[in-house]
Amino acid sequence: MAGLVLRSTFKDLYEERLPYLEELIYNAYDEHVDEYSQVLNMNTSSRMSETDFSVAEFGLFPTKAEGTDLTLDSIEPGYTKTHTHVTYARGTEVTKESLQDDQDGIMADQAYGLGFAGRQTVETVAFDEVFNNGFTTSTSADGLSIYNSSHELVKGGTWSNTASADLDVPSLEAALTHFAGLVDEAGKKIRMMASKLVVPTALLYQAIRLVESEGRPDTADRAKNAFRNFSISIFEGHYLSSSTAWFLCADARQLKAKFYWRQRPQVESEVDFWSKSGMTSMDLRFSVGVSDPRGLYGSTG
């Protein structure tokens, strides 16, 4: 039976007794604190799915000559994005004999291993959907990739939130300038400030030099580092798959990059009547996606 753990599978636990059981890979490693919850807009749900929708905002007021009729503006639908919750689950089974003869509790502590794998699953799915696949298969409500140069405004015009530049002074300046020029669906200026520079480990030290240095890192003339005027925190994304891609994001509460918990991880255990084996499972249910890509800027590097 797939997943069934026999005593022979972990022979050392029962016969040779490993001298340092705490070094077992199964439960030896510490984890990173939750990362997805620090960069995404966190929500809970009690439905099968959640839908984001909007209406296009009014345009600027035109002039009105004395005695003439005012100009009417239509209310038009904006974006619609449905987040359908997905269930993730895994389990394992251990024979009664394995549990009885395991004097160190390794087999009995299956829930820890499932929890570790479950949390890694959440992080991987969340970062894949919003960041790793954001230049290709992950789409926003307009049907285009999250990071795209041709996002359309409902009332006319396009805008871009992507680049292909390495992380350096000019490219970060361009990203911050992008935030300063954000507009709504009618082309009116909106205020959405850059908050986090999300980078892979390979770019962490470059990001620190750019954002936190007293002087500009690209010049020797002691020019002031203008990036220090912005309240940008550096966020090391351990679940980013590219070593060159980087992202500038608004505060998570402003983003329409949403994570919905439908069911947080639940562990169940029982003994099979026929085989007497112990079975443990974990399942969880959530959805993650981006409706409006405003507040997200990404470069492939």
CA distances from 231 to 2, 88, 132, 178, 298 (A): 52, 37, 25, 16, 18
**Rounded (5°) CA angle 289-291-297:** 85
pLDDT of amino acid 19 = 45
d(CA 287, CA 255): 15
Dihedrals φ, ψ of 188, to 5°? Answer: -85, 145
- In whole angstroms, how far apart are CA 10 and each of 4, 7, 83, 99, 281? 12, 6, 42, 12, 20
**Domain assignment of residue 73, yes or no:** no
Q: What is the pLDDT of residues 212-244, one digit of tens each?
A: 887 666 665 567 778 888 889 999 999 999 999
The greatest distance separating any two alpha carbons of the chain, rounded to the nearest whole angstrom, comes to 98
Neighbouring CB atoms inside 10 A of 42's CB total 15
Task: Specify whether the CB–CB gap between 37 and 127 falls below 8 A.
Answer: no
The H or E element spanning position 257 is strand 257-271
Where the chain has pLDDT below 50, the residues are 14, 17-26, 28
Report yes or no on 224 lying in a domain: yes
Q: Which helix (H) or strand (E) holds 286?
A: strand 278-290
pTM, two decimals, is 0.85
Report the CATH number that the domain containing residue 118 is assigned in CATH. 3.90.1690
pLDDT tens per residue across span 122-175: 999 999 999 999 999 999 999 999 999 999 988 888 999 999 999 999 999 999
Residue 49 lies in a domain: yes
pLDDT of res. 18: 44
- CA–CA separation, 257 vs 146, rounded Å? 10
Domain that holds residue 215: 4-53+79-299
Element (H or E) spanning 287, and its range? strand 278-290
Closest CA to 239 of 120, 104, 99: 120
Answer yes or no: is 64 within a domain. Answer: no
Residue 38 lies in a domain: yes
Does 59 map to a domain?
no
DSSP 8-class letter at 224: B
Q: How many other CB atoms are there within 10 angstroms of residue 108's CB atom?
A: 15
Q: How many domains does the chain divide into?
A: 1
Does residue 60 belong to any structural domain of this protein?
A: no
Query: Is the CB of residue 184 less than 8 Å from the CB of residue 57?
Result: yes
Q: Is residue 39 part of a domain?
A: yes
